[in-house]
Amino acid sequence: MSSRRNFIEKLTISAVGLPLLAHPTNIFATSEAPYQGPMLKVALMGLGSYAGRVAEAMQDCKRAKITGLISGTPSKITEWSEKYNVPKKSCYNYEDFDKIKNNPDIDAVYVITPNGLHKDQSIRVAKAGKHVICEKPMGINAEEGQAMVDACKAANVKLLIGYRMHFEPKTVAVIKMRKDGEFGKTKFFQGQSGFNIGDPTQWRLDKELAGGGAMMDIGIYSINGARYMLGEEPVWVTAQETKTDPEKFKEGVDETIQFQMGFPSGAVANCLSTYNMSNLDRFFMTGTDGFVEMQPSTGYGPIEGRTHKGPLTQPHVTHQTLQMDGVAALIFDGKQPIVPVDGEEGVKDMKIIDAIFEAVKTGGKVEIKI
């Protein structure tokens, strides 16, 4: 009966709401005044595939814009500076980018290079007095992550990690539900994160540049997800590795790892990270009073999911657009997202990854202090 009532209520809202929103004189549609405040001036470092996605998404940002480029490839600088209207004086390479120090047209640098380069590049950005936005994983271990946090603190700049899911509407709605106790006492999280990786010569399969394999790249979503879904920090991990192709996945480059995490409340998580299976992008969580299932759970969207109360209906907005406007709100207004995206948050994930690698080596239970 109650689900039928919910259905009818939803139907009524959408039947009334759609024509209203479409109407040009609708007060709801026109009430938002154009943004007049400061724009976050961002230089993109590493003009690869993800930077391309970020750049396109930033075209729809209200509070952030691309004002600088850093790349080792002159032809990319030419192409991107024309496409995104970035003057040559705000374009740099990996040797001379410390000169951003004297460029008032750059407030922050978004580091979107291979993982093994993040630490040194982020510290150089901090020393140049600019805020650092750094892709996940923030580095290749917790020690690197902590060095980045310390350097940014010393330079009095912000360090923010590219956790775009912390701004994604359905994810945020689920976190709010959990905070409001709608799942009751959360008991179990299951995370499955993986895809089939192609080209064996790419940096993602190079230990030095990637810091590992699937875990650094995609398994980190299940780690971060377990933490924001359950709302606790793990106190132990166990982990097992499976390697079916040691030629492609060399020493130190993980192909598939299953891992388990235990939390202070007694909740447990069971997760899979892989570079050798497809269609793995799923979160499930259950508590004493309800459940949530999301699939896809962390891809570029739309995210899909349902809880014991029905489907998640929040609208899809390009994640990186929300993220970069959110980063501007954080830097300009101190407005924090529902789950932090700061360097300390990044270090927590790195500590867990360190412990997972240790558990794979030892075969035992590894305690974590976060």
| Least distance from ligand NAD to the Cβ atom of residue 65, Å | 20
The answer to whether 109 touches 117, Cβ cutoff 8 Å, is no
| Least distance from ligand NAD to the Cβ atom of residue 187, Å | 29
| Least distance from ligand NAD to the Cβ atom of residue 324, Å | 12
Q: Which of 43, 44, 46, 275 binds ligand NAD (CB under 6 A)?
A: 46
Question: For residue 239, what are the contacts with CB-CB under 8 A and spacing of at least 6?
Answer: 257, 258, 259, 260, 356, 357, 359, 360
Q: Is 50 in the site for ligand NAD (CB under 6 A)?
A: yes
Q: Which of 2, 3, 25, 49 binds ligand NAD (CB under 6 A)?
A: 49
Q: Is 84 in the site for ligand NAD (CB under 6 A)?
A: no
Question: For residue 64, what are the contacts with CB-CB under 8 A and spacing of at least 6?
Answer: 39, 40, 42, 58, 324, 325, 327, 328
Q: Is 253 in the site for ligand NAD (CB under 6 A)?
A: no
Which one of 26-34, 107-115, 265-273, 308-316 is the stretch in contact with ligand NAD (CB under 6 A)?
Answer: 107-115
Q: Which of residues 124-163 bind ligand NAD (CB under 6 A)?
A: 135-136, 162
Q: Which is nearer to ligand NAD, 31 or 49 (CB)?
A: 49
User: Amino acid letter at 67?
Assistant: T
**Three-class SS of residue 298?**
coil
| Least distance from ligand NAD to the Cβ atom of residue 362, Å | 27
92 an active-site residue? Answer: no
* Per-residue contact flags (x/-) with ligand NAD for residues 207 to 246, judged by CB under 6 A: --x-------x-----------------------------
Q: Which of 188, 195, 203, 291 binds ligand NAD (CB under 6 A)?
A: 203
Cα separation, 224 vs 198, whole angstroms: 25
Q: Which is nearer to ligand NAD, 147 or 209 (CB)?
A: 209
Q: Which of 90, 115, 146, 222 binds ligand NAD (CB under 6 A)?
A: 115
| Least distance from ligand NAD to the Cβ atom of residue 182, Å | 28
Annotated active-site residue in 163, 221, 228, 275: 221
Total residues at interface with ligand NAD (CB under 6 A) = 19
Residues 274-307 as b/e (b if ≥16 CB within 10 A, e otherwise) read: bbbeeebbbbbbbbeebbbbbbbbbeebebebeb
Q: How many helices (H) and strands (E) does the chain have?
A: 12, 15
Q: Which of 42, 43, 47, 328 binds ligand NAD (CB under 6 A)?
A: 47
| Least distance from ligand NAD to the Cβ atom of residue 115, Å | 5
Annotated active-site residue in 41, 130, 136, 170: 136
Cα separation, 54 vs 311, whole angstroms: 28
Q: Is 354 in the site for ligand NAD (CB under 6 A)?
A: no
Q: Which of 86, 110, 114, 321 binds ligand NAD (CB under 6 A)?
A: 114
Exposed, middle or buried by CB within 10 Å (0-12, 13-18, 19+), for 127?
A: middle
Question: For residue 44, what are the contacts with CB-CB under 8 A and spacing of at least 6?
Answer: 51, 54, 55, 66, 68, 69, 70, 80, 109, 110, 112
| Least distance from ligand NAD to the Cβ atom of residue 203, Å | 4
| Least distance from ligand NAD to the Cβ atom of residue 209, Å | 6
Cα separation, 302 vs 169, whole angstroms: 10
Which one of 19-27, 44-52, 276-284, 287-295 is the stretch in contact with ligand NAD (CB under 6 A)?
Answer: 44-52
Residue 363 vs residues 63, 186, 215, 358: alpha-carbon distances, Å: 48, 27, 17, 8
10 an active-site residue? Answer: no
The answer to whether 290 touches 309, Cβ cutoff 8 Å, is yes
Cα separation, 322 vs 64, whole angstroms: 10
Q: What is the token pair recorded at 100?
A: 């951003």
Q: Is 48 in the site for ligand NAD (CB under 6 A)?
A: yes
Cα separation, 297 vs 299, whole angstroms: 6
Cα separation, 151 vs 254, whole angstroms: 30
Give the residue numbers marked as catalytic: 136, 221
Residues contributing to the site for ligand NAD (CB under 6 A)? 46-51, 72, 112-115, 117, 135-136, 162, 164, 203, 209, 217
